[in-house]
Amino acid sequence: MIPAAFDYYRPKDMAAVLSILEEHGDDARVMAGGHSLIPMMKLRMADVPHLIDLQDVGGMSDIAIDADKIVIGAMVTQAQIIDHAALGTKAPILSEAALQIADPQVRYMGTVGGNVANGDPGNDMPGLMQCLDATFSVVGPDGERDIAAREFYEAAYMTAREDDEVLTRVTIPMPSGGYAYEKQKRKIGDYATAAAAVQITKDGDTCTSASIAMTNLSDIPVYSEAASAALVGTAVDDAAIKAAIDAMLGDIDPVEDNRGPVAFKNHVAGVILQRAITRAWSRA
């Protein structure tokens, strides 16, 4: 289908972006890579009279790695995540997840900011960022503010970002320990039936910390504090993994759709989490 007519803007700086948003209010939307918004416009599921393309806005396409944190600009693409050698060393879970997003064509255009900002429960980066305890920085007419990834998502396509605010960067505390991103999907390019992001640290044979988040099993990504806690202080044996899976199943709320009934999704979620925990533990 063809989208409804719209005015197209390609500003050079954030001040111009915010000016257009202020002028047109709810009739204006910003676009990063466009892989979520443009299909919705073509299907007439989104009416956007004023479309603001962020491609030319400076300062949003950089990756910075410090001793204690990683800062990723909102316009960094999934392909850049995959190709960044230092990032692959410091936080390999990011490239492991990015490689499972859609296909190479999408990854060359799809951005980190677009993936996390629009609140699509099927996107991979929101759950991953909750697992990594990331912080999202947004800027609007009242200035800049930071929002924890674990507090950002309110419902499907509804987030803590206001309509006149733009997500500019993602800040991640330097990850440590073992990691895994596991995803089950019907075919290449599809959303996950279930996906799990896991980060684990250990001392000897004992888990000292764990972080678990699930994707596409509720109307928001699910950071499962109970599942994470079930692993801490254990040797991550079969009993501990089962306890973590049971806790996770109590936190998710899948619905039946073309990816399967609820019982099937719960089963897949358990299998995926078991794989992710096992692999993260082996890397810890």
The structure tokens listed for 104 are 């190479």
pLDDT number for residue 152:
98
Residues 74-98: tens digit of each pLDDT: 999 999 999 999 999 999 999 999 9
Question: What's the mean pLDDT in 140-164?
Answer: 97
Domains of the chain: 7-53 (3.30.43.10), 63-173 (3.30.465.10), 181-283 (3.30.390.50)
pLDDT number for residue 40:
83
Q: Which residues of 221-245 are buried (b: 16+ CB within 10 A; e: fewer)?
A: bbbbeebbebbbebebeeebbebbb
Q: Which residues of 252-262 are buried (b: 16+ CB within 10 A; e: fewer)?
A: bebeeeebbee
Of the pLDDT bands very low, low, confident and very high (cuts 50, 70, 90), residue 239 is very high
Q: Are 172 and 72 in contact (CB under 8 A)?
A: yes
3-state secondary structure 214-255: EECCCCCCEECHHHHHHHCCCCCCHHHHHHHHHHHHHHCCCC
pLDDT number for residue 272:
98
Q: Please name the amino acid found at residue 229.
A: A
pLDDT number for residue 49:
94
pLDDT number for residue 258:
93
Dihedral Cα 260, 262, 266, 269, nearest 10 deg: 40
**Which residues is 213 bridged to in the sheet?**
197, 223
Question: What's the mean pLDDT in 217-244?
Answer: 98
Q: Are 283 and 176 in contact (CB under 8 A)?
A: no
**Residue 254 vs residue 41, higher pLDDT:** 254
Of the pLDDT bands very low, low, confident and very high (cuts 50, 70, 90), residue 41 is confident
Of the pLDDT bands very low, low, confident and very high (cuts 50, 70, 90), residue 39 is confident
Q: Which residues contact 257 (CB under 8 A, 6 or more apart)?
A: none
Residues 2-34: tens digit of each pLDDT: 889 999 999 999 999 999 999 999 999 999 988
Lowest-confidence segment of 68-77, 104-113, 147-156 by average pLDDT: 104-113
Residues 198-230: tens digit of each pLDDT: 999 999 999 999 999 999 999 999 999 999 999
The structure tokens listed for 138 are 């947004």
**Is the predicted pLDDT of residue 1 greater than 80, yes or no?**
no
% of the chain with per-residue pLDDT over 70: 100
pLDDT number for residue 189:
83
pLDDT number for residue 266:
98
Of the pLDDT bands very low, low, confident and very high (cuts 50, 70, 90), residue 188 is confident
Of the pLDDT bands very low, low, confident and very high (cuts 50, 70, 90), residue 43 is confident
Q: Which residues of 92-125 are buried (b: 16+ CB within 10 A; e: fewer)?
A: ebbbbbbebbbeeeebebbbbbbbbbbbbbbbbb
